[in-house]
Structure 1
Amino acid sequence: MKIYMAPLNEEQLDKKKRERKEQIMRAALKVFADNGVKLTKISMIAKEAKVSHGLVYHYFDSKDEILYESIEYGMQENMVEQFFNDLNDSRRTPLEKIKQFTRFAFKESDTGISNMVFRIVQQLNVVNGLPDHIHELVENAGKFYIEALTPLFLDGQKRGEIIQGDTEELLGVYLTVLSSIMADDPSFWRENLEWKVEILLRMISIR
């Protein structure tokens, strides 16, 4: 006896397409974060998403389009914003919050989308020749991190935890170091992570 499944209606089809596209974008974020944009191939994204190479092209025309929409998806889903909301709601001191953020920056990609977006944005900060629309998206994402971290640095300076001086410049140095590490070999930093994070924070903290 054969069992016939009722065909999906238009709403169900649209939902299934959205879910499949999100599946590919989540996989893309992980692959971009782990391998860097230049080394990432469509086939790697398809493998991570557990879909066919051709299906990826059904939803996206190019690797640049996947990159753009994936970053946009990660930012718009408020996953990055939620990380900072949770961080600010905690009872940690400003320096402890910056330490938590630094630790988060070097975690493996499976810790969440917010971590992947940050790592990709930091990698792209040192890449030349990005298409204008991707450059603008990365710039806007970078501004978000600056706006989110600036109050922590200001509060840390006020409490005497962080060295005095131009807050914007100090934060710029901190993020430039993170960007350079992300573009080089973040896997190195995951070994003895706590010790390396402590060393990194010494450049901004009062000891």
Structure 2
Amino acid sequence: MAPQNKEQLDQKKHERKAQIMRAAIKVFAENGIKLTKISMIAKEAKVSHGLVYHYFTSKDEILYASLDWAVEEHKSAKLFQELNDHEVSPLEQIKQFTLFAFTESDTEISNGVFRIIQNLSSTNDLPEHLVQFVEKAGQFYIESLYPLFVEGQNSGEIIKGDAEELLGIYLTVLSGIMADDPAFWKDNTEQKVGILTRMISER
């Protein structure tokens, strides 16, 4: 077998690092920040504990790098764009986003990012770079969902009131569920999401 050139080696390193970060997103989302250990990430990535340290110096570095990578590679904006393209109603778009937030998927990690961000939002004493990241990500969800709440109110689908306050309540409930027991939502997810979204539905 011919030795690999520098470009091939760099590509292999890039793929291995992405493999670790993909695993990290899944493990952080499932176990929370505090309970996640580097050994758990290594096991999920199917690599040695030492190899993880070859790419990252700490759990915090893995967390930030993985979130940064995931947001760039798998933007939640894709979901909203797809729903827009299908011209579904505002309430249905909110339902689909809620399903997206609760659904596990090996090929789509944006939902894992959402769950981690919700976890971080309720965590004190975060490093400044993570505080800024969470604020930026949170603003994205507000900017994406707020117009749907307003449009839904105008069409009579969503209950009247201060749309910003209503969105805040919705995201607070969603965050609370994420922090408490997201595993509960894996069974009969669509039915449970339907019950959840009735709190904002006019009908």
TM-score range, shorter chain: over 0.9
Q: Secondary structure, in 3 states, of the residue corresponding to 1:206?
A: coil
Contact 1:24 1:45 in 2 (8 A): yes
Instruction: Provide Cα deviations, 1:43-82, integer angstroms capped at 9, x if missing partner.
Output: 0000000000000000011101111011111111143221
Runs of 4+ in 1 over 3 A off after TM superposition: none
Distance in 1 of aligned mates of 2:31 and 2:160: 37
2:26 corresponding residue in structure 1: 30
Contact 1:34 1:109 in 2 (8 A): no
Distance in 1 of aligned mates of 2:175 and 2:58: 25
Contact 2:79 2:97 in 1 (8 A): no
Consecutive unaligned residues in structure 1, runs of 5 or more:
none
1:138 corresponding residue in structure 2: 134
1:160 to 2:134 alignment: no
Q: Percent identity?
A: 68
Count of aligned pairs: 203
Q: Secondary structure, in 3 states, of the residue corresponding to 1:36?
A: helix
Q: How does 1:34-183 map onto structure 2 within 5 Å?
A: 34-110=30-106, 112-183=108-179
1:196 corresponding residue in structure 2: 192
Contact 2:27 2:36 in 1 (8 A): yes
Contact 1:95 1:152 in 2 (8 A): yes
Q: Secondary structure, in 3 states, of the residue corresponding to 1:164?
A: coil
Contact 2:102 2:186 in 1 (8 A): yes
Instruction: Provide Cα deviations, 1:121-153, integer angstroms capped at 9, x if missing partner.
Output: 111111111111111111111111111111211
With the length of structure 1 as denominator, give the TM-score of the two structures: 0.94
With the length of structure 2 as denominator, give the TM-score of the two structures: 0.95
CA RMSD of aligned residues (A): 1.2
Consecutive unaligned residues in structure 2, runs of 5 or more:
none
